[in-house]
Structure 1
Amino acid sequence: MRLFNIQKYCLGLMAVVSLGAVSCTNEAELDSAQERGDVVFSAQVDKVVTRITDNKWDGGELVGVKAGETVKTYKVTATGKMSTEDEPYTWDGTSYDVLAWSPLTTEQINLKDQTTTEKFFACDLLVSSAKVESKNVRFAFTHRMTRMWWELQKFEGYTESQVNEARISFIGYGAVTYAAGEVTPIGDAGQLISTRNSKGEYYRNGEAMMVPGEMWGKPLIQVEIGGDTYIYTPSKDNQNDVAKNTGKLLPNTWQRYYLSVSKKGLTVEMEADEVGWDNNNISGDEITDAMFKAAISDDVSALPNYKVEGLEADFITDKVRGFSITYKEEKASGGIAYEGLADRTRTVGSDGTVTFTFSNICSDLKLTYTEEYMEIGYYFYKDGTYGAKYKADGTVGVIYKVGKHETDDASNYEGTGLKTIHGYVVALADEVDGETQFFKWKDGSAGLYGAEFPENGHIGDGKTSLYIGYSNTRYLIEKAAAAEATAVPAASTSTRKNGSGLISGTSGWYLPSHTQLKDLATLANKTIENYQVLNRTYWDSSFDSDPNAYVVIFGENGAISSPDFYKSVDSTNKVRLILTF
């Protein structure tokens, strides 16, 4: 992977496409190429807001250029010319779409370490789309990532030395792949991202590139200073967060977070430039070729009574209002799945038609048809099915995560009958035993920690990313059963809930791992009929060693409200069980 050497802040690369042979070095060769119809791409700098050094290409940067299903590799010279060893694209008078992106790489891009200029800008991902309708086509590159910047402005109660040694990190996805202009996150959004820090009187400025997306109810910034740790989690219950939209990371945007820390806690203010990263904004008419695109699969366009509105040649004309697809749904569980950043709503007409509307679009979208359509917030029923409507006599939980977590596998649920993982469900309400809804994590003196503990070697100081609550729960119950006069009340609530048998096609109920419990915050601020929002402190099945076990603390809106992650095992807290299906 070739890295860019960048010193300028950037908004977009303005590239001009002209005709000529790829290897042209003079006007005669260029004229000859034009006669043959070969396309030569040349990158010319129009503004001092480009992703190159001193307004010039370093030379050797790789750009992918795609037309239809064909991808060709181009290399940029220091003068801005682009050459390819592939057969060049040609212009024969027929209009077609082209997509360009850089860097061109098949390797994972590491986001965790952005401590140097080179590492920071290696995470800057560029893309542009255009329609070839003449011999001259102009690309307007935009940034796929969100440029995040922090400044520690106030630090009451801490010394200059502690400020100098403070560590501020963003929290998000730790790696991505980048292909055809699409960013694909790897892992979960709970990874610490080390930032490129500015020099100054104090160590108090830094920035990093992050994956765009919703971060409401998820930890976003961690401040470690003077032996204290503070975590900022954007909340829709916080009017300032909502007003500033701090929990939504947008592509092609520079978002600046101003931090004030004291012994009382951490407060955050935010500003953002939606168009310019260096206050050198490019007007809207200069980026008309950079519209987002919807790639609709054949199995969608072939649906009965298919109709699409809001697209022109697959390009999204209004990214706020978006577009819609209407068709006749013939399967009770069918629907349209998508990859990308957008809001999706589904409405059903009285005539059996279904309309999917995609709005507030922040990336290209890829749409496919699925016979097992589901959404976060769908109800899960006692017969192992799911749907959008609450059933008074059959609803047992709510889907909080769709698809298999990357650390999970169906083999982890041996003996349950679960063959394939479709998603994860949280129970409608907290567990209750008699008149109590508060349980100890452990009751008794036997030690439960051992080398065979599922999370052993993968957990420490609350830093775990494993979806293994089922394995943890089974381990704790079996370990307690083999011990003398020791019980695990929190984990054992699952035994009671599963007493009448496992729901067909599921793992049965279990105590979530620390990561699984934190992910229940995806339902924060959602209005879901007959679903009891998590509130206060909840046990999970993760732990390091006695005398403490792990917890997650939720606020009244179901969002994580505290960075505290452990309590004494003999204290009493709430329990919310989950299952895998």
Structure 2
Amino acid sequence: MKVHKFYIVGAALVLGMYACTVDKELEYSHDGDISFSANVGKMRSRVLNNQWEGDEQIGVSLGENTASFKAYSIATDGTMSTTEEPYQWEGTPVNITAWTPLTDQEINLTDQTTEQKLYDCDLLFCQTQAKSKEVHLQFNHQMTKMLYMLQGHGAYTDEEAKNARIYFLGYRAVTYTKGIINPIGDVNTPINPRRIDDTNGEAIMVPCEMWDKPLIKVEIGGDTHYYTPRKSTIVDGKTEEERKTGVLTPGAQQKYYIWVDKKGLTVNMESSSIGWDNETIKDDEITDSKFKVVIPEEISILAGYSLQGIENDFIADATHGFSITYTKSEVSDGIDFEGMCDRERSVAENNITFTFKNIRSDIKLTYTTEYMEVGYYLYNNGTYGEDYKDGETAGVIFKVGKHETDDVVNYDGRLTKIHGYAVALTDEENASQGTTFKWKNGNGALHSNEYPEFGIGGGNTTQYIGYQNTKYLIEKAVSQDRTTVPAASTSTAKNSPSVINGTSGWYLPSHTQLKDLESLAGFSGQRYTALNGTYWDSSFDSDANAYIVVFGSGVISSTDFYRAVDSEQKVRLILTF
């Protein structure tokens, strides 16, 4: 079990105060002894099933000075005893401070791979006032409970996802002296969590702020990705600072929902302080399938609404899941979800059915009038849908929602909201009806500190910044004598005579955006041609070479990331809508 409240002061975390309650009558040895008992509220203790193992040592101090304390041991029923002279009741209220474990040794946090090792990292604290000879200590958690939930793995295979290793990064150890947590080391040590199953894990960490510091490390398919919380990053309309994603809160349980693909990680976080036991995904919960679903009224009042697979708000069978059917009314309406499951959408005549299978957590549903999926078509009027429309279809959606590095301010006032990103149906053609272009013609210098991705190297780009890159390249080339940028300039021709309503207009993707086109590797929709060959992007780190991605039937097929700027490669444009 663990506790809640402290503040960073220098290198130490100083505990806040917690009220404890007296709620149990106890027998005691003689009239003058203070009789103690203890539990950990509604949360699981350092042992299982809210029951003490019977060998825990608890430090107990009376008054304001914790320098003097006595060691008490606790029995499985929560009663406490000491081999020292017991504290005596003197008839007046007195402050009590208690903590466990009682140790002067370092507590290692790096290996939490078993349940026992996990709870060995649990620190408990209580501060209350004794008003009688019977004192009940209700301990609280001092550390932060961290849960990861791998919800998607992009182009990585199921087997690669199954074998992925996920770590948290934080302090490597602490000492816990008289109720004060002292972190040891820096906040960059990998914490090996207890693995609940192939996609879920948990660890206990020192509360602190992790802004602009790597917090999650994912090793998958030979690649290593890091997640670093940043205050300005927006997720689902809120900044990470508003969500406190980078704050490890004492006593809280924080769930980190992870989506990984070849370009990196997308992470969302939920925090709760109502008690770890209520929030922990335990092995028996996974096998027994008793997860809960929250369905808001905006869904239940839909015309033709029906629900299957739910009993008293609980999912009857986690594998087969549940489904909701309703009569279609909006062009692009649908049901989004928070949690861990697989979602399928089907249409029969005018009825839409959403099925949620392989449930691995509680599920919260929301209704949206802007529902879309990767593989939906984007139309020339700025709308989107499942069906190809001859003469009206502009491209295919390859990413839903705003990328964490992107913002509407990047698009010169053309957008008020970012719904997603779409790719052109086919490669661009040159004047000779060929499909290759040079990246640059002429000797003019394009690389400067004005370039949006200036300072990158080795292909290590991470940003959705193709629009700004393309604009820069075209404008910079104009200022250079007899220098052109053929690959980027294909966007000018494609945007003529006008930009598609509600979009940024076409542009040459950044390196990160181009790699993300692998999300359509399995898509075989009408009139869409899968990427096949070597493609230019708008990222570069010198005037001699620019970045490329090599595809084979829609899948990235090479680790090559650059070519000479005067070589000829293919171009596939994208846009933001």
TM-score (norm 2): 0.60
CA distance in 2, matches of 1:372, 1:413: 21
**Preserved CA contact (<8 Å) 1:172 1:210:** no
Partner of 1:226: none
CA distance in 2, matches of 1:389, 1:54: 50
CA distance in 2, matches of 1:517, 1:186: 26
For residues 423-459 of structure 1, give each alpha carbon's deviation from its aligned partner in whole angstroms, at most 9, with x where no partner exists.
11100000011321011100111010111111123x2
Partner of 1:143: 201
Does 2:523 match 1:526?
A: yes
Matches within 5 A, 1:107-186: 113=169, 124=193, 143=201, 170-171=224-225, 173-174=227-228
Matches within 5 A, 1:389-538: 389-415=387-413, 417-433=414-430, 434-457=432-455, 459-538=456-535
**Preserved CA contact (<8 Å) 2:168 2:190:** no
**Preserved CA contact (<8 Å) 2:147 2:256:** no
CA distance in 1, matches of 2:331, 2:219: 46
For residues 37-94 of structure 1, give each alpha carbon's deviation from its aligned partner in whole angstroms, at most 9, with x where no partner exists.
x9744533379984444965642399xxxxxxxxxxxxxxxxxx96459xxxxxxxxx
Question: For residue 443 of structure 2, what is the amino acid of its counterpart?
Answer: S
Matches within 5 A, 1:28-177: 40-43=42-45, 44-45=47-48, 50-53=114-117, 56=120, 58-60=122-124, 83=139, 102-103=145-146, 113=169, 124=193, 143=201, 170-171=224-225, 173-174=227-228
Q: How far off its partner does 1:561 sit?
A: 1.5
For residues 119-158 of structure 1, give each alpha carbon's deviation from its aligned partner in whole angstroms, at most 9, with x where no partner exists.
6675748999xxxxxxxxxxxxx7369997799xxxxxxx
**Preserved CA contact (<8 Å) 1:376 1:401:** yes
For residues 461-515 of structure 1, give each alpha carbon's deviation from its aligned partner in whole angstroms, at most 9, with x where no partner exists.
1112111111110110111111111110000000111112111111110001111
Partner of 1:574: 570
1:404 partner SS:
coil
For residues 258-300 of structure 1, give each alpha carbon's deviation from its aligned partner in whole angstroms, at most 9, with x where no partner exists.
xxxxxxxxxxxxxxxxxxxxxxxx9976765674332222211
Pair 124,486 (structure 1): closer, same or farther in 2 beyond 3 Å: same
For residues 96-122 of structure 1, give each alpha carbon's deviation from its aligned partner in whole angstroms, at most 9, with x where no partner exists.
xxxxx93499xxxx9685795896675
Partner of 1:68: none
Task: Specify the structure having the higher radius of gyration (Cα).
Answer: 2
CA distance in 1, matches of 2:450, 2:321: 51
CA distance in 2, matches of 1:311, 1:498: 49
1:502 partner SS:
coil
Partner of 1:135: none
Pair 82,51 (structure 1): closer, same or farther in 2 beyond 3 Å: farther
Question: For residue 559 of structure 1, what is the amino acid of its counterpart?
Answer: V
Pair 57,559 (structure 1): closer, same or farther in 2 beyond 3 Å: same
CA distance in 2, matches of 1:210, 1:387: 31
Q: How many residues align?
A: 398
2:493 partner SS:
helix
Partner of 1:562: 558
**Percent of paired sites with the same residue:** 46
**Preserved CA contact (<8 Å) 2:217 2:225:** no
Q: How far off its partner does 1:376 sit?
A: 0.9
- Structure 2 gaps of 5+ residues are 5-19, 29-39, 54-111, 127-136, 149-165, 175-187, 204-215, 232-237, 242-254, 266-280
Q: How far off its partner does 1:571 sit?
A: 0.8
TM-score (norm 1): 0.59
1:538 partner SS:
strand
CA distance in 2, matches of 1:511, 1:529: 23
**Preserved CA contact (<8 Å) 2:377 2:387:** yes
Pair 545,26 (structure 1): closer, same or farther in 2 beyond 3 Å: farther
Question: For residue 368 of structure 1, what is the amino acid of its counterpart?
Answer: T
Pair 403,543 (structure 1): closer, same or farther in 2 beyond 3 Å: same
Q: How far off its partner does 1:536 sit?
A: 1.4
